Amino acid sequence: MKKLSTFLFSIAFLFAKAQDPPDLTNGVSGNQFTRYFMSHSDWSAQCNPMLLHAYKMIGVRSIRVPISNEILYQDADPSVLNPANIVALDTIVIKKLLDSGFTVILDACHPLSGHGGRASFMQMLAQDSLGARLKFRKYWVAVINYFKRYNTEKLVFEIINEPFSDDPKNRNFVYELEDSVVKDIRAIDSIHWLIVSGIRNDKTLDGLADSIPGIPFRDMRRRITFPPIQAKKLIYCFHWYQPDVLIFQGLRNANLYGCTSNLPYPAFPGCADSLIAAGCGNFGAIQQWQIYEAARPFQVQALPLWGLHRMDSLIKQAADYGKEHHVPIWMGEGMCFTRPGGIDRQSRLNYLEDAVATFRKYNIGFNLWDPTGPATLIVNNGSVTAPTFDTLLLQKMGFLSRDNTIINSSQKTKRK
């Protein structure tokens, strides 16, 4: 009887373990591995053993691999993955990452600007031009059939990156399409985890929340509008680039955030007064409002200034949604960019420390965008020397301890 009880307990434990979502913490994007304009040899050069070993040494556990809609998708016959790229993508990138022990998020439809165009691809889906939605569903069946042989705890599929609609009356197509794709996938694979993302017209919890009509850009009064999809083993995704006047300051062209510089984090009263006095933000209602609200209590709603308290209150909305619907939540893309004239070093350290600590607090997995990019500078992946890392930033985000040892997932991250 004791042996039977032990056996049944073991079976129950393994079953429960199989239902646990994969570890998506300490994540970075692998977008440098699969740029759509690169050759297969470039993929191989970027996804190299030296970098992957270094990622392991600094505590990276998950890697998201964005795939342009031009790499595998074939409009003429989406049920067949592009033979020019599929084997190379699998062997050079996906299998290599899995064999290295990382959890891999295959973002198999990440439409990019230019070269076919993110907007045009999404517009075709929104309008269902030439049967675009059915083609998209066939494409995903092909993707799953090819990759489903891989470990269910180590390979996760992300349905689509940052879906949007130019028509506010036609936003539901995103949810309806993802619901159909999930049903198609579950007909052939019931065990791999899938990531779904809602409309991204909102600027606070991109992919979960949406604007309340008549109350634009006021994030403390957002409502999460993602209608739950009735399926098992789903992870709900949002992106985090907030407040964007801080995140992108000095990075984009002058018609957006080119005039912003040295906005601090955390904000303090009057910290943007010089920018406001110089007319920065007067070129558009969105930017003007954001500059005010990033650095001053908003007069109508008395919103708190941007700091740990405000960040916590927003991210908690996503965590509460997950609890209500019994689904894991994942912050699939986020970063605080840096460049001369942009955010200062200490503010960037403060921001990323607060953001990552808050994700950890609410058990939300997270993924940092473009870690090797010139505007992020977390990793310098030179072709001659071994990769170097921003050690202090990694310590602030809880990847490394102060003595540069890896912090285990069971350890709590506390703000220093």
Q: Are 78 and 142 in contact (CB under 8 A)?
A: yes
Per-residue pLDDT of 45-97, as tens digits, reads 889 898 999 899 899 999 999 998 789 999 999 999 999 999 999 999 999 99
* Residue 33, pLDDT above cutoff 50: yes
Whole-number mean pLDDT of the chain? 80
Quick one: average pLDDT of 192-213? Answer: 71
pLDDT on residue 296:
52
* Contact indicator for 46, 32 with CB cutoff of 8 Å: yes
Burial of residue 147, with CB atoms counted within 10 A of its CB: 0-12 exposed, 13-18 middle, 19 or more buried:
buried
Q: Are 246 and 263 in contact (CB under 8 A)?
A: yes
Neighbours of 299 (CB within 10 A): 9
Phi/psi of residue 346, nearest 5 degrees: -65, -40
Among 118, 129, 123, 125, smallest CA distance to 140 is for 125
Sign of torsion over alpha carbons 303, 304, 309, 315: positive
- pLDDT for res 269: 76
Could you report the per-residue pLDDT of 280-319, keeping only the tens digit for each?
655 444 455 555 455 554 444 456 678 898 889 889 988 9
Under the phi-then-psi rule, with left for phi > 0, alpha for psi from -120 to 50, and beta for the rest, what region is 58? alpha
**Rounded distance between C-alpha atoms, residue 162 and residue 159, angstroms:** 10
Report the alpha-carbon distance of residue 306 to residue 220 in Å, rounded.
Answer: 12
Torsion angle, alpha carbons of 347, 353, 358, 361, to 10: -160
Distance CA 205, CA 211 (A): 10
User: Cα dist. 121→38, 191, 230, 391 in Å?
Assistant: 21, 29, 26, 39
Alpha-carbon gap, residue 319 to 328, rounded angstroms = 8
Two tokens, residue 296: 């001053």
Using CA atoms in the order 210, 331, 357, 369, what is the torsion angle rounded to 10 degrees? -120
Helix (H, G, I), strand (E, B) or coil at 393: helix
Instruction: Give 136-195 pLDDT, tens digit per residue.
Output: 999 999 999 999 999 999 999 999 998 877 776 777 888 899 999 999 999 999 999 999
Instruction: Give the integer Cα–Cα distance in Å for 205 and 243.
Output: 11
Q: What CA–CA distance (Å, rounded) separates 203 from 196?
A: 18
Side-chain-side CA neighbours of 281 within 13 Å: the count stands at 25
95-120: per-residue pLDDT in tens? 999 999 999 999 999 886 544 555 68
The answer, yes or no, to whether the previous bond of 266 is cis (omega within 30 of 0) is: yes
The SS3 call for residue 18 is helix
Give CA–CA dist 227/236, Å, rounded. Answer: 11
What's the pLDDT tens digit per position in 4-18? 555 444 443 344 445
The least confident of 333-342, 353-362, 383-392 is 383-392
In which band, very low, low, confident or very high, does the pLDDT at 407 lie, cut at 50, 70 and 90? low
Mean pLDDT lowest among 36-40, 223-227, 247-251, 349-353 = 223-227
